[in-house]
Structure 1
């Protein structure tokens, strides 16, 4: 198969490569040449499709590969994503690979969000990346499940969000790690709860809120911080029949925050899972007076 784009680079043997703008029509043609029709992971296809639609696609060494007979060896998911997005993107197209390389294609470890943040010099990278991911989910799909293919957040999105508010995320991770020692919530849930409440309430007394959660000292029986401290810790442990997922943990944190900010509503406080159809609570805002 020949693609008339530019003069190919010619390494050893018959292997050649070119940078090609792969259109949806060309992607469909390439897919028709698949030597092995592997079952597509539609979650992965969807993630790649959304990356293309957001304009985040980047030209890298990962592209499309054909063997010496012109049969497609690698790139099914990327090609299907181009078709789903109905958008052309540039890729490197390799031709002339021996057939015996097929078993070793796509066997490398995928780069994690924590790997992507490594170059920033930040601390607690797994917790940081998880926190940013769930903050993004809170903002973009608060009333939908935060698991499965629809909840995919790309590494580029996570890195961009971190660069927009490095101090905010760094503080949230530090506070989240500390609060989780005293609450039922995981470090990620505590960090997400802290970030989204602090972000919309810069004028609130955050120190009073966090110090009460940490110590529990001298808190009145009706104090929302005391209620949050008393949520059983085993509710988020793996294997527990009472386990509460990340979205519910964040919701409970915000419910307590809102009750603390508006004490007149404290008697309505119910720190439990979101019921079917119940929407994610939005944190009370506290702005500075101008």
Structure 2
């Protein structure tokens, strides 16, 4: 009798649906001889999908050639081992050896592609980036928003968008408008706009935006004026680098907080987050009955 992992076959490739445990994944990986070097960032993204119960059974899975060697699936198998959870996937046995060069050569679907499946048409790249950074703010505000750990799955972005479609559309539109007048990127401004207006829906956001866009009649020290005066472009001599996305979102929130609650704020200084400095949280200003 042939064991479950005995993979030499003499027929056309046939898929099997298998619940791949970490132990089975390790056994399958032991047959790896021709795969590419691991992309640890991709592995980590798959791990996050598994741990967040976002793994879905699709036609993509594990592929072995006619000699039982692993041709496709090393990233998925490595993620199962790292996540230490079993997942279901299709296992293909008996693939011709010459299919390896064409495996996984198609571009992966982006978050913008996923959002387009909802019928959304405008500013998809900015929209997906905005949602991603809102999620990073919520889940890891005090950690870098770059590298493998900062990857967010398309499923999470799509699910988040569906929770508050109108607010995300408004945030993207506002981010595009404000970027003409403020140093930060459209994404940082859209994410900051979404987070602050979500926390303080009772605040007159139109007055906030009008001041940022025109700068007219703003008194010295007005938080909107301070934010407008943060320099655009390259950093001044002696400054190591431009503010990154996390820095930009933090400055937007600091300025918003100072404008909403000026009595609680001293002299407003907007700069990059210092080492170990925590991300500011938007002040809350809910509607009252």
Q: 2:15 aligns with which of 8, 14, 17?
A: 17
TM-score, normalization: structure 1? 0.92
Please name the residue that 1:289 is paired with. Answer: 288
Please name the residue that 1:43 is paired with. Answer: 41
In structure 1, distance between residues paired with 2:86 and 2:212:
52
Please name the residue that 1:262 is paired with. Answer: 261
Please name the residue that 1:130 is paired with. Answer: 129
Relative contact order (alpha carbons < 8 A, sep ≥ 6): 1 or 2 greater?
Answer: 2
Cα deviation 1:50-87 (Å, max 9, x = unaligned): 11111110011110000001111110110111111111
Question: What SS does the corresponding residue of 1:233 show, helix, strand or coil?
Answer: coil
Structure 1, unpaired ranges of 5+: 6-11
TM-score, normalization: structure 2? 0.93
Range moving further from structure 2, 116-125 or 177-186: 116-125
Cα drift, residue 119 of structure 1: 1.5
Cα drift, residue 133 of structure 1: 0.2
Cα deviation 1:196-252 (Å, max 9, x = unaligned): 00000011111111111111111111210011111111158xxx9642100000001
In structure 1, distance between residues paired with 2:36 and 2:178:
46
In structure 2, distance between residues paired with 1:72 and 1:189:
43
Cα drift, residue 266 of structure 1: 4.5
Cα deviation 1:243-280 (Å, max 9, x = unaligned): 21000000010111111111124542111101111111
- Compared CA separation, residues 94 and 268, structure 1 to 2 (3 A): same
Runs of 4+ in structure 1 off by over 3 angstroms are 1-5
In structure 2, distance between residues paired with 1:191 and 1:86:
37
Contact between 2:62 and 2:91, CA under 8 Å: does it hold in 1?
Answer: yes
Cα drift, residue 144 of structure 1: 0.5
Please name the residue that 1:196 is paired with. Answer: 195
Cα drift, residue 121 of structure 1: 2.3
Question: What SS does the corresponding residue of 1:20 show, helix, strand or coil?
Answer: strand
Please name the residue that 2:75 is paired with. Answer: 77
